[in-house]
Amino acid sequence: MKKNIQNVIEISNEASKIFLSGENFYVQQLLGAHRIAEGYIFRVWAPNAQKVSLVGDFNDWQGIPMEKDETSGIWEVYCEHAKEKDLYKFKVQQADGREVYKIDPFAIRFEKRPGVAAELYEFPAKKWKDGLWIGRNKRSNKFKRPMNIYEVHASSWKEHENGEPYSFSDLKAELIPYLVEMNYTHIEFMPLMEHPLGRSWGYQLIGYFALSSYYGTPAEFQDFVEACHLNNIGVFVDWVPGHYCINDDTLPYYDGTPQFEYSDPDRAKNNRWGSINFDLGKPQVQSFLISSAMFWIEMFHIDGIRVDAVSNMIYRDYDEGPWTPNHEGGNRNLEGFYFLQKLNAVIKLAHPNVLMIAEESSSETPVTGLIENGSLGFDFKWNMGWMNDILRFYEMDPVLRKDHFTLLTFSFMYMMRENFILPLSHDEVVHGKKSLMHKMWGDRYKQFAQLRNLYTYLITHPGKKLLFMGSEWGQFLEWKFDEELEWGDLNDSLNHSMQKFTSELNYFYKEQTALWELEDSAETVEIIDADNTSESVLTFMRKGKRKKDFLIVALNMTPVERREFTIGVPYPGTYKEVWNTEMQEFGGTWTQHNDICQSESIQFKEYDQLIRTTVPALGAIILKPESINIRKK
């Protein structure tokens, strides 16, 4: 046993040197708790602590002194009495002599809230069965494939009758079939890492390597991801590398000095969210955070990470409160900028098919694309500008929309500037903002009509798609993090029809190559008429690789039915309506589609041909060429 421990110590000396340099991307294999022979070896980084002791179930919480390696600042002790499922903490005598019971920052499991003690846990050996999914991802171009994301808060999607949240075993049984039924291609979870306060929604973390015990065991989440892949569904997880929970018994000022946080108290304190900012320029913090990302990718086979609050990481003046310019006199957080480039470079080198997604609200910094070209190196960026403009527009009285039509169309001007995801996310349905359904103008019938119109625009506009749970059927109440969704809504015929609409629209999106095949190119869209403000109807085309593969979209933003409405078309021939938001099965009043349109040789703007059809009040239609002559325009 002593020989085994000595081997581990020798290995750890090399690993600790790499940790200090910021290049150890598997630092959880060094720090934390690890089984050795019959017991466990415990290590924690606390360079300026006067003393650190291990306390837990195995010693009646009395404390075992740990030894410090002066070079690395890592404290270590071997405990032969420790066993799996025991709880433990570190008792840290900080630099000023104050004693605080602290969490293990590298724990892979914690006790259930409100406690924050780490639990000794061993991952069971798993033989993954998702090789076909992984192989298919390696061969596919993520930019030229459909991506329609269902955003979920795991504990409020559905709960048991006694109010207990679903575990991932429960979610595997019910959520995955629902995703299949609703025709989503991906699911994205709000943070699943350990956090002590439910109302933070997981955005103020304490355990960067631990699935929250609120959601079950890590093995259950592994099984969930595997089952998603077997059903052709990708899994994304939100991750928060910019700031963390302020609780004194967690990460803040761990050894009594600025350890994970900035030395400058103004930079360390996050006033906006009541949390603490990581010092992203510190090598040990870089090792910690990048190791966390790698851990989630490799242990759980997740397909992507959405990095939260990127603006807070790359701008010194993003927060509320005092700020100081960088050494160049600007507002760029240079440490955060270079950390994100490093993060993306490391992930892409190790896992080129894992998607890195940024939630970033400004337009000053290139976010997606090659790092060599000056960007942060993400694959996708949430298009917050599109989301804000669109929701303002749909909340507006239709009488006013003609004067604000650019809110609807402005995104076409910059749609190729980044690789965008169009988010209608959780942030838009809380804190008095009202649900998407409740935002819509007019009476209940008109609200559903506009919601169908909005989702059609979401699906047909260039960019990948994201919709928050409950919005698929038009839940009227705001989302509540501590209650399940209003599933009773589906007893109402209009809500049920709205859910059917979303499912069929999602299927339509997956089947129509024109909606995603050329999405990384400006050729994917052609505006037919964005200037019809008097009637407030927008028309445009989405195009695939083949000339005959295109769709014509018409969105009517007024409660007035537009009959004999003219639309310019590129080729003579016939055009068939393949989508109409006002069909009776979707909650509308139409019992049959518009007749097939025969083009007429009449000039319409840039087109030599036009068709005439009816666009429903507050509705949207999509037409597809049926029999056209592409040689004659």
Reply yes or no on whether 359 is catalytic.
yes
Q: Which one, of 447, 385, 458, lies nearest residue 418 by Cα?
A: 385
Contact 546, 386 (CB under 8 A): no
Q: Which one is catalytic: 308, 335, 517, 577?
A: 308
- Residue 78's DSSP bridge partners are 41
Alpha carbon 448 to its chain's center: 26
Q: Where are the beta strands (DSSP E) in 146-303?
A: 148-152, 186-189, 193-194, 207-211, 234-239, 243-244, 269-270, 275-277
The identity of residue 209, as a single letter, is F
Q: How far apart are CA 279 and CA 254, in angstroms?
A: 13
The string of DSSP codes covering 323-383 is: ----TTSSSB-HHHHHHHHHHHHHHHHH-TTSEEEE----SSS--BS-GGGTS--BSEEE-
- Residue 100's DSSP bridge partners are 92
Q: Which one is catalytic: 303, 359, 418, 517?
A: 359
Q: How far apart are CA 65 and CA 258, in angstroms?
A: 23
Q: How far apart are CA 313 and CA 544, in angstroms?
A: 37
Structure tokens at 131: 């090789």
Instruction: Decide: residue 457, CB within 10 A, 0-12 exposed, 13-18 middle, 19+ buried.
Output: buried
Which residues form the catalytic set? 308, 359
